[in-house]
Chain A
Amino acid sequence: MTDQSKISAQDLSIFYGANRAVKNVSMEIRENRVTALIGPSGCGKSTFLRALNRMNDIIPSVRAEGRVFLDGQDIYAPRVDVIDVRRRVGMVFQKSNPFPKSIFENVAYGLRINGVRSRKVIEQQVEKSLRGAALWDEVKDRLQTSALAMSGGQQQRLCIARALAIEPEVLLMDEPASALDPIATQKIEELIHDLKRDYTIVIVTHNMQQAARVSDFTGFFLMGELIEVDETGTIFTKPTRKQTEDYITGRFG
């Protein structure tokens, strides 16, 4: 594997109070690749994902141990600016969560809070992001209408566009298609495929076919531990660990 490591988690443990939800996980996330995280629900995938852009910080009682390097810089080091980390590592959530604002304002939000004032720049960036999220043609004539009037699939792509607008380097996606119908899901998967040219993507999914379709690497989590991580083809055809094989073949989970 010659790919560059974009994010490197080292011996990472995450606690909710006394409950250790992620246990000593070490993992490399490779640049411009899609990495899928699979495993039964409650095994710590989301918690691990949120640790990669310090979104766990907003949950009271969460504590992290270990290190996470982004381009070689420890994002949990004392003087690191969380805001900066989150700008560089964007996130798309399981349940689409557009703001109760217009389509335009949803995408412009990240630009505005990050100090972009120029109307022209904002307009250009909104269009670019919506194109990037394969949504532009569907919404270009109704940018000022409420985002809440869109279909579920469109809302989720809007959330992707919103994340793209501030030009992150990494995109974290937590089961982005779990609430969508097959057609909307397919669109998201195609989108992920296109996006990996410019972004490093980490996607949590409970759908193993999806992981097999969209990812280059797959990590298998079980009860807070990373059991195995390898190229997706390897994980799905000849996993090294028995637990992985059991999970892949549907013997549990």
Chain B
Amino acid sequence: MEKKPGSPVRLFSTYARSSTRRVRLMDGIAGKGTMAAGLLIVALLVLLLNEMFRLSLPAICHFGIGFFTSSDWDPQGERFGVLPFLYGTLVSSAIALVIAIPFGIGTALFLTELAPQRLRGAVAFVVDMLAAIPSVVYGLWGVFVLAPLMQSHVGPFLEKTLGFLPLFRGPFYGGVSMLTAGLILAVMVVPFIVAIAREVLLTVPVDLKAASYALGATQWETIWKVVLPYSRVGIGGGVVLALGRALGETMAVTMVIGNQPRINASILQPGYSMAAVLANEFNEASSKLYLSVLVEVGLTLFLVTFLINIAARVLLWRMRSVHPH
């Protein structure tokens, strides 16, 4: 910078300008870097999909649409239908959500609205820890604790009280069942729902709760009519995350679902899931077709997860645009 005699020394503007230039440079690098990372992820996804599609092509050509409509699974006879696995994955995840949603939201409400201040941190910590437990540990717990309990108490009880519904009928197979898998999954996804619901519930404006109380509402009415409606879209996001986790969970489900490729009306009887059949049978896939079929099962799992996520997101987005909260 040229300095005329007598003019003040412009230390600041000199510095500021060079700093601006530096910031711009950094912004440029950061921008390009993050974009590259993003693109790389997308590229990996496309590559993966492409590869899975290529590997499952023999199976797709061989079975066509029949793959999705057949519930016959007989590797020796080379008859493959994905239906029992599709059914098992969806039903076990649905059971998990039916149980985990009320528990998760209830826990989150307890942590944000009801629990004494001192207790909140401790309980939240414990719940977060649940998410950190490896799924094989859940599986072991399922095999040694939950399954025997299902066999001796829960199953018979459900059959006795609700047995008029085909959903709750025996015979029991050592306590491994669709319901057992759903229960384990529920425990595994509750922390996700709690963590997200808690964040969302904390954003409910104190003003709105005060308005409700000032009109003579009780705490429960305020929660039910103000807090939850305000949070439902955000909590819905947490449920979607939990669902994604449940659909793909492999280890724990494999250990307790019973691994029988049949569609049983009763959730007290064994089933099988897509993730579980992949884990169990990949090593044994002797023929090229068998292997190709398993890859197609994987592809199906991927697509189901993907589609459900999209559908859920569209639903949430619709809810948000109708009512901002």
A interface residues, Cβ below 8 angstroms from B: 53, 55, 58, 60, 83-84, 86-87, 90-91, 93, 95, 97-101, 109-110, 112-114, 146, 148, 159, 162-163, 166
B211 touches A86 (CB 8 A): no
A87 to chain B: closest residue by CB? B216
Q: B214 contacts the other chain (Cβ, under 8 Å)?
A: yes
Q: How many residues on chain B are close to A (CB under 8 Å)?
A: 22
Flag if B325 contacts A100 (CB, 8 Å). yes
> Closest Cβ of chain A: how far from B63's Cβ, in Å?
51
Q: Is B208 an interface position by the 8 A CB rule?
A: yes
**Also in contact, A97 and B210, with CB within 8 A (given A113-B221, A162-B215):** yes
| A159 neighbours in B (Cβ, 8 Å) | 211
Query: For the complex, what is the distance from the CA of A101 to the CA of B232, rounded to whole Å?
Result: 14
Given contacts A109-B225, A113-B225, contact A166 B215 (CB under 8 A): yes
Q: Find chain B residues with CB under 8 A from A114 CB.
A: 215-216
Give the nearest-CB partner of A96 in chain B: B207
A60: B residues at CB distance < 8 A: 117
B324 to chain A, nearest CB (A): 6
B216 contacts A84, CB within 8 Å? yes
Partner of B208, one of A58, A84, A99: A99
- The yes or no answer to B166 lying at the interface (CB within 8 A) is no
Query: When the two chains form the complex, which single residue of A58, A99, A101, A110 contacts B216, counting CB atoms closer than 8 Å?
Result: A110
User: Closest CB of chain B to A168's CB: distance in Å?
Assistant: 9
Report which of B117, B209, B210, B323 forms a contact with A100, defined as CB distance below 8 A.
Answer: B323
Are A55 and B210 touching (Cβ within 8 A)?
Answer: yes
Q: Which residues of A have CB within 8 Å of B117?
A: 60
Work out how many contacts link A and B, with CB atoms closer than 8 A. Answer: 69
Residues from 211 to 239 in B contacting A, C-beta threshold 8 Å: 211-218, 221, 225-226, 229-230
Provide the residues of chain B in CB contact with A162, threshold 8 Å: 211, 215
Q: Which residues from chain A contact B325 at a C-beta distance below 8 Å?
A: 100
Chain B CB within 10 Å — which of A91, A113, A159, A163 has the most? A113
**Which residue from B210, B212, B218, B323 sits with its C-beta under 8 Å from A109?**
B212
Partner of B324, one of A95, A97, A148: A148
Whether A86 contacts B214 by the Cβ 8 Å rule is yes
The reply to whether A86 and B210 contact each other, CB–CB distance below 8 Å, is no
Give residues of chain B (306-325) contacting chain A, Cβ–Cβ below 8 Å: 323-325
A99 & B215 in contact (Cβ 8 Å cutoff)? no
CB distance from B230 to the nearest CB of A (A): 6
Chain A residues lying within 8 Å of B323, measured Cβ to Cβ, are 100-101, 146
Is the beta-carbon distance between B216 and A97 smaller than 8 angstroms? no
- B205 interface contact, C-beta 8 A: yes
Of all chain A residues, which has the CB nearest B217? A113
The answer to whether B230 and A97 have CB atoms under 8 Å apart is no
Give the docked Cα–Cα distance between A16 and B209 (Å). Answer: 20
A101 to B323, CA, bound (A): 8
* Residues of chain A within 8 A of B218, CB atoms compared: 83, 113
Max chain B Cβ within 10 angstroms of own Cβ: one of A90, A101, A162, A166 = A101
Assuming A100-B325, A109-B225, A113-B225, is B209 touching A58 (CB within 8 A)?
yes
Q: In the assembled complex, which residues on chain B have CB atoms less than 8 Å from the CB atom of A98? A: 211
CA distance A60 to B213 in the complex (A): 14
Given A86-B216, A97-B205, A109-B212, list of 5 further CB < 8 A pairs? A55-B210, A87-B216, A113-B215, A163-B214, A163-B215
In the assembled complex, the CB of B269 is this many whole angstroms from the nearest CB of chain A, namely 45
Tell me whether B210 and A58 are in contact (CB under 8 A).
yes
